[in-house]
C-alpha cells in the first residue's frame, strides 16, 4: 500500500461518451460498474483518483429516445440536465458496491479561468480527496453556452490535471490509442503508436480533424491538444481503450499499452500554464522569421516591428497565439494592446509606436514575462 499522497499518486481519468454508451443508445451501466471496480482498486492501492466523465448528453439522448446527438444548444442542454442525473446515479450505485462515495462537480470555463474561483475549486477537490470521496467531474453543460463552453472533456480533463498537479492523465476511449495511419496498413488494422515524446506536426496529422464517433465530440485532435497541455506541465498522459478492463493500472505500471505521451522534463510555472492553457484564446498575431528566432532562441519580447498580421478581435491582457509565417504556433502570450491597435503598428519600429500611442505606450506587443513558448520539435 502506498502511504504518501503527494502528486505522484494523483491521477485524473477521463472517460468518453462512446465508451459509456451502449451501441443501441443509452448508458452502459455494466461499463460504469467495471470502471468503478477498477478505480476502487486503484484507490485501495493509495492512488487519489479524479474522474472526468462525459456521457451526460448521451444518457439524456437515451432518456428521450434520440439516436443522434442533438444539434441545437437548447436540446443539448436539456439532454445534459436529464442525463447528468442518470450518469451520477449510475456512478453512485457502482462505487457504493465498492464502499466508496462519489461527489458531483460540474465546472464551466469561467470557473477555471478566474483565479479566485479556481483556487476555491482546487481546495474543495482536495478536501473531497482527503475525505476519501471520488470527485466525478463534468462540464456544466446546462449553463455553458457555445461561446463560453470548454466544449470537450479531453480539454476539461487536461485542465483539471494541470490545476490539481496530477501525475498522470489517462484518457479512456473507443480506440486502442493513437493509430499510425501512415503505416500502410488497411483502415482498422493500423498499429498503435506506443510512445510520443513530443507532439510534432507529423503526429498532429495522424489525428485528423473530425470527431471520433456518432455520440462523442472530441476525437483524436482534442486528445492531442490535451496531451500537449499536460506534457508541458510535467504530466504524462495515456490514451487507452475503455472497452477493456484493467488497462488503467497496466498503463500506470508502465506496460506498453495504448499511447503514452511523455511529460516534458521542464514543466511550466503555474502562471505560465495559466497563460498558455488556462484561458480562452482570443486571436493571433503572425510574425516574421527574425522575430520568431528572437523569441525562440534569444528569449526576447515580441515587438511590433516583427508582427506581419493580426487575426481576431482581442483586448489588452487577452491571450493570443503567436504564429510563424507558415501558420505554426510557436508561443502564446498576454497581449499589451487591443487588436485594432496592433493592426495600426504592424511592422512599425518602437519609435513609431511611441509617436502613435504616446511615450508611456508599452514597448512590446507581448512582453517576455507574459509569453510562453509552445514546445514542439
Ligand atoms: N459534457 C458532455 C457530456 O457529458 C461531453 C463532452 C465530451 O464528450 O467531451 O455529455
**What counts of helices (H) and strands (E) characterise the chain?**
14, 13
Residue 211 is predicted with a pLDDT of: 45
**More confident of the two residues 208 and 99:** 99
CATH number for position 107 = 3.40.1160.10
Kindly give the distance from the C-alpha atom of residue 54 to the centroid of ligand 1, in angstroms, as a whole number.
4
- Interval 280-321: pLDDT, tens: 889 999 999 999 999 999 999 999 999 999 999 999 999 999
Q: How confident is the model at residue 266 (pLDDT cuts 50, 70, 90)?
A: confident
- The rounded mean pLDDT for the chain is 89
Ligand 1 interacting residues, C-beta cut-off 6 A = 16-17, 54-58, 80, 138-139, 141, 152-153, 216-218
- Do residue 249 and residue 341 come from a single domain? no
Kindly give the distance from the C-alpha atom of residue 217 to the centroid of ligand 1, in angstroms, as a whole number.
7
- Ligand 1 atom at shortest distance from the alpha carbon of 216: 8
Mean pLDDT of 251-279: 87
Residue 216 is predicted with a pLDDT of: 56
Q: Looking at the domain assignment, is residue 19 inside a domain?
A: yes
- Ligand 1 atom at shortest distance from the alpha carbon of 151: 6
Q: Residue 302 corresponds to which cell in the numbers above?
A: 515580441
The string over 341-359, giving b where at least 16 C-beta atoms fall within 10 Å of a residue's C-beta and e elsewhere, is: bbebbbebeeeebeeeeee
- Do residue 43 and residue 150 come from a single domain? yes
- Do residue 140 and residue 189 come from a single domain? yes
Query: Which residues fall within 8 angstroms of residue 201, CB to CB, at 6 or more apart?
Result: 328, 376
Mean pLDDT of 336-343: 96
- Ligand 1 atom at shortest distance from the alpha carbon of 139: 1
Torsion angle of C-alpha atoms 248, 49, 15, 275, degrees rounded to 10 = -110
Max avg pLDDT among 88-92, 211-215, 222-226 = 88-92
- Do residue 144 and residue 187 come from a single domain? yes
The yes-or-no verdict on residue 126 having pLDDT over 90 is: yes
Residue 278 is predicted with a pLDDT of: 75
- Interval 214-264: pLDDT, tens: 555 568 888 998 998 899 889 999 999 998 899 999 999 989 999 999 998
Ligand 1, atom 5, lies closest to the CA of 54
Strand partners, 105: 137
- Rounded Cα distance, 56 and 33, in Å: 16
- Ligand 1 atom at shortest distance from the alpha carbon of 84: 4
**Poorest-pLDDT segment among 75-89, 195-209, 248-262:** 195-209
Count of positions (residues) in the chain: 377
Q: Looking at the domain assignment, is residue 116 inside a domain?
A: yes
Q: Look at residues 272, 306, 323 and tell me which one is the last residue of a structural domain.
A: 272
- Interval 138-154: pLDDT, tens: 999 988 877 667 888 99
Pocket test for ligand 1, best of 26, 56, 212 (most atoms within 8 A of CB): 56
Kindly give the distance from the C-alpha atom of residue 294 to the centroid of ligand 1, in angstroms, as a whole number.
41
Above pLDDT 90, what percent of the chain?
64
| Helix (H/G/I), strand (E/B), else coil: 108 | coil
Q: How confident is the model at residue 361 (pLDDT cuts 50, 70, 90)?
A: confident
- Ligand 1 atom at shortest distance from the alpha carbon of 53: 4
Q: Looking at the domain assignment, is residue 93 inside a domain?
A: yes
Kindly give the distance from the C-alpha atom of residue 122 to the centroid of ligand 1, in angstroms, as a whole number.
21
- Rounded Cα distance, 50 and 158, in Å: 12
Kindly give the distance from the C-alpha atom of residue 57 to the centroid of ligand 1, in angstroms, as a whole number.
6
Range of the domain at 130: 7-272
- Do residue 211 and residue 327 come from a single domain? no
- Do residue 20 and residue 129 come from a single domain? yes
Amino acid at each position: 500500500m502506498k502511504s504518501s499522497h503527494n502528486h505522484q499518486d494523483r491521477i485524473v481519468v477521463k472517460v468518453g461518451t462512446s465508451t459509456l454508451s451502449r451501441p443501441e443508445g443509452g448508458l452502459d451501466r455494466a461499463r460504469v460498474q467495471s470502471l468503478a471496480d477498477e478505480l476502487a482498486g486503484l484507490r485501495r492501492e493509495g492512488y487519489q483518483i479524479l474522474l472526468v466523465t462525459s456521457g451526460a448528453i448521451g444518457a439524456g439522448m437515451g432518456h428521450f429516445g434520440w439516436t443522434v446527438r442533438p444539434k441545437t444548444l437548447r436540446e443539448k442542454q436539456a439532454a445534459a440536465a436529464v442525463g447528468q442525473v442518470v450518469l451520477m446515479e449510475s456512478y453512485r450505485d457502482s462505487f457504493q458496491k465498492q464502499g466508496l462515495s462519489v461527489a458531483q462537480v460540474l465546472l464551466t470555463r469561467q470557473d477555471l479561468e478566474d483565479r479566485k474561483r479556481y483556487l476555491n475549486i482546487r481546495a474543495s477537490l482536495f478536501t473531497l480527496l482527503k475525505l476519501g470521496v471520488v470527485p466525478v467531474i463534468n462540464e456544466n453543460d446546462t449553463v455553458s453556452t457555445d461561446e463560453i463552453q470548454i466544449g470537450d472533456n479531453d480539454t476539461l480533463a487536461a485542465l483539471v490535471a494541470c490545476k490539481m498537479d496530477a501525475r498522470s492523465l489517462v484518457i479512456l476511449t473507443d480506440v486502442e490509442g493513437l493509430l499510425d495511419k501512415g503505416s500502410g496498413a488497411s483502415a482498422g488494422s493500423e498499429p498503435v503508436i506506443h510512445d510520443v515524446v513530443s507532439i510534432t506536426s507529423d503526429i498532429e496529422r495522424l489525428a485528423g480533424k473530425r470527431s471520433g464517433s456518432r455520440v462523442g465530440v472530441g476525437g483524436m485532435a482534442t486528445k492531442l491538444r490535451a496531451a500537449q497541455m499536460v506534457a508541458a506541465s510535467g504530466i504524462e498522459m495515456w490514451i487507452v481503450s475503455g472497452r477493456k478492463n484493467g488497462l488503467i493500472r497496466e498503463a500506470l505500471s508502465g506496460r506498453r499499452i495504448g499511447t503514452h505521451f511523455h511529460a516534458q522534463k521542464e514543466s511550466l510555472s503555474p502562471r505560465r500554464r495559466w497563460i498558455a492553457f488556462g484561458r480562452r484564446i482570443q486571436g493571433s498575431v503572425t510574425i516574421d522569421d527574425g522575430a520568431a528566432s528572437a523569441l525562440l532562441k534569444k528569449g526576447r519580447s515580441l515587438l511590433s516591428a516583427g508582427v506581419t498580421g493580426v487575426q481576431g478581435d482581442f483586448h489588452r491582457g487577452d491571450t493570443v497565439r503567436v504564429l510563424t509565417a507558415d501558420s505554426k504556433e510557436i508561443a502564446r502570450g498576454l497581449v499589451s494592446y487591443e487588436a485594432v491597435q496592433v493592426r495600426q503598428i504592424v511592422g512599425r519600429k518602437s519609435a513609431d509606436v511611441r509617436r502613435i500611442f504616446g511615450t508611456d505606450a508599452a514597448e512590446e506587443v507581448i512582453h517576455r514575462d507574459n509569453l510562453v513558448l509552445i514546445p514542439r520539435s
